[in-house]
Structure 1
Amino acid sequence: MQNPSPAALPPLRGRIQQDAPLAPLTWFRTGGPAEFLVRPADVDDLLLLLRDRPRDLPLTVIGAASNLLVRDGGVRGLVVKLARGFSEIVVEGDGILAGAAALDATVAEHAAAAGLAGLEFLCGIPGAIGGAVAMNAGAYGAEVKDMLDWAEVATPSGLLRLSAQELGFTYRHSTLPQDGVVVRARFRAIPGEATAIAAKMNAIRAAREESQPVRARTGGSTFKNPEGHKAWALIDAAGCRGLQNGDAQISEKHCNFLLNLGVATASDLEGLGETVRARVAAQSGVTLEWEIKRIGEFPA
């Protein structure tokens, strides 16, 4: 069967690349290419793509790719990345409107500059708003579900505005419609004292810098915290701190972080993660679940 060409896609105004490298877009800096990488120009462009795309092409959405591992065989079908047309941030009297491509930390900074409290935790989450909503991201005692009023979600049948309740948030999960893509979200906030907001954000940044390998090629928290446990403590107890597989390593600083020390493949990283899962299960009886999203094909 002949590979599809960009001509098979709807007439988009955004950019379409075939066989596009994805590794440079991810924090791990490794992995295979996308069959098609699509950057829609705006919401209307995205809606057209979702409505008229060839149904035999799988759809994958990526954001800042901070919590993502792209397998070495690449990703079949369409990889959608929201960029400039989805990054607007609007400050309102009692909240913030943020596009899906706006970085979490940038949203927190806009809220702080406007004297709005309650969104400080976002400065401790590496990633963008679309992914934060999709996975109910959280840190430092707060989660997206605690502050979200609604999110706008593009679907093949049109644009929906869904409340936090309708999104069915649970730990590191939301229930999006089939082929739904978060494009914008509104967060409520409360008037606060600027120095207190700044102090809280500085404390979050300092704690993150001290406890996490923030300057490494990493993917954020590797595994979800099982109920009643901390993933890092289970990994440490299983003797996995500093464990290596080629250039893939379990961080010695925070052992729920996978690191690419240089030329680790996605297979090296995922394989190390699976070794950790097996050792933790053998040592504690607890099965760790991946928090890092893994997409694409294993190499042939």
Structure 2
Amino acid sequence: MADRASTASPPVRVERSRDTPGTGVSTSFDTNGVRGKLTPEAPLAPLVWFKSGGAAEWLFEPKDVADLQDFLRGLDPSVPIMALGLGSNMVVRDGGVPGVVVRLGKPFAKVAKVDDVTLDCGGGASGILVSSTARDNGIAGVEFLRSIPGTVGGFVRMNGGAYGGEVKDILVDCDVVLRSGELVTLRKADLRYTYRHSELPEGAIVVAARFKGRPGEPQAIQAEMDRISASREASQPLRSKTGGSTFKNPEGRKAWQLVDEAGCRGLRIGGAEVSEKHTNFLINTGEATSAEIEALGEEVRRRVKDNSGVALEWEIQRVGRP
């Protein structure tokens, strides 16, 4: 791991209130030194695909990497930190998220060519931007990112994958701001990837990553991206309020098939429903609460276990207070 120094303004001074545990705004800030946007009690429902859930105690959108480093250095170590990308694979519980939610905006959404087969991607860059930049530069092998509705930071953390590709297949290394504010570079081996999982340090935020593909023809790359897009449109409820694939595929099995065989297609709890189109997707049919969505997922897990003996694991992150 390589350490990098910050040259930004003095760190923000932060205190953790000890007399109001579990209630309202319990983290106070002296915003001197913060150059990004810091918002108290920020609603998260508009920022996630399910369009449900509570507020972030604080939402921080850093101006740049140095701003993020300084902010974290000044933050009481007891204050929890959570990174938020496009919110496409996440249930934010109705009680909201304590501490600070960090959202990487436009300053982190850039993608640049490093060499003939490598891209330097900001942690806030979308899969569409990464795959399109790769196409424009004749870099094949990253087309699968076109199909994942998320950002580079989430891809790296969760070993994002689809249509035969995974981040572990293309990652060279990544820049990560640790909870302490230290900026380090982690190699792929440091993350110890498994299926939809990495050993990224707790509270760490991925601010950039290098992806390596292979030489390709832009026309062929576009054709593969079009094929993937058409396949997704045909098989997934993309125009619904959803969170993507709900459960991990067990070894040698397909989660959607296990859910279907357990009779869960179209199953509902309140405003939450198992998609008729793809049974590994839960959807918010209107005004579903996050509690209803999570309860539906648990009921699906129970029925699948009773029917097949398989204990499905959540792929969707569930965060915050019930």
Whether TM-score is above 0.5 comes out as yes
Q: Counterpart of 1:260? A: 284
Alignment map for 1:1-300 (pairs within 5 Å): 1-2=19-20, 3-4=25-26, 6-8=28-30, 11-92=33-114, 93-155=116-178, 156-298=180-322
What 5-or-longer segments of structure 1 have no aligned partner?
Answer: none
Cα pair 1:62 1:82 within 8 Å, conserved: yes
More divergent stretch after superposition (15-24 vs 156-165): 156-165
Name whichever of 258-267 and 84-93 sits farther off. 84-93
- Taking the aligned partners of 1:172 and 1:27, their CA distance within structure 2 comes to 19
- Which string of whole-angstrom CA distances, capped at 9 and with x for unpartnered residues, describes residues 46-78 of structure 1? 111222202232111111100011000111111
1:198: how far off? 1.0
**Number of corresponding residues:** 298
Is 1:16–1:38's contact at 8 Å kept on the other side of the alignment? yes
Q: CA deviation at 1:166?
A: 1.1
- Shift of residue 215 of structure 1? 1.0
8 Å contact from structure 1 (residues 249, 259) kept in 2: yes
Report % sequence identity: 50
1:126 aligned partner, one-letter code = P
RMSD: 1.2
Shift of 1:157: 5.0
Contact kept in structure 1, 2:68 and 2:181, CA below 8 Å: no
Q: Distance in 1 between matches of 2:111 and 2:290?
A: 34
Letter in 1 for 2:88: S
Q: Which amino acid aligns with 1:188?
A: K
Secondary structure in 1 aligned to 2:189? Answer: coil
How far the C-alpha of 1:79 sits from its partner, in A, is 0.9
CA distance in 2, matches of 1:58, 1:229: 36
TM-score normalised over the length of structure 2: 0.90
Question: Taking structure 1 as reference, are residues 289 and 9 closer, same or farther at Cα in structure 2, changes over 3 Å only?
Answer: farther
Instruction: Please state how far the C-alpha of 1:296 moved relative to its aligned partner.
Output: 0.5
Look up the SS of the partner of 1:162 in the other structure: strand
TM-score with structure 1 setting the length: 0.96
Q: Given that residues 10 and 53 in structure 1 are in contact (C-alpha distance below 8 angstroms), is that contact kept between their aligned partners in structure 2? A: no
- Cα distance in 1 between the residues matched to 2:231 and 2:61: 35
The one-letter code matched in structure 1 to 2:172 is D
CA distance in 1: counterparts of 2:296 and 2:132, whole angstroms: 36
Kindly provide the CA deviation profile for residues 181-203 of structure 1, in whole angstroms up to 9, marking residues without a partner as x.
10000001221112211111110
- Secondary structure at the counterpart of residue 314 of structure 2: coil
Unpaired runs of 5+ residues, structure 2, are 1-18
Which amino acid in the other structure matches residue 25 of structure 1? L
1:7 is paired with a residue of what secondary structure? strand
1:240 partner SS: coil
CA deviation profile, 1:274-297 (whole Å, cap 9, x unmatched) = 000000000000001100001000
- AA aligned opposite 1:31: G
Q: Distance in 2 between matches of 1:149 and 1:177?
A: 18
Give the 3-state SS of the residue equivalent to 2:209 in structure 1.
strand
C-alpha spacing 1:10/1:189, structure 2 compared with 1 (3 Å): farther
Q: Are residues 246 and 157 of structure 1, via their aligned partners in 2, closer, same or farther at CA, if it must alter by over 3 Å?
A: closer
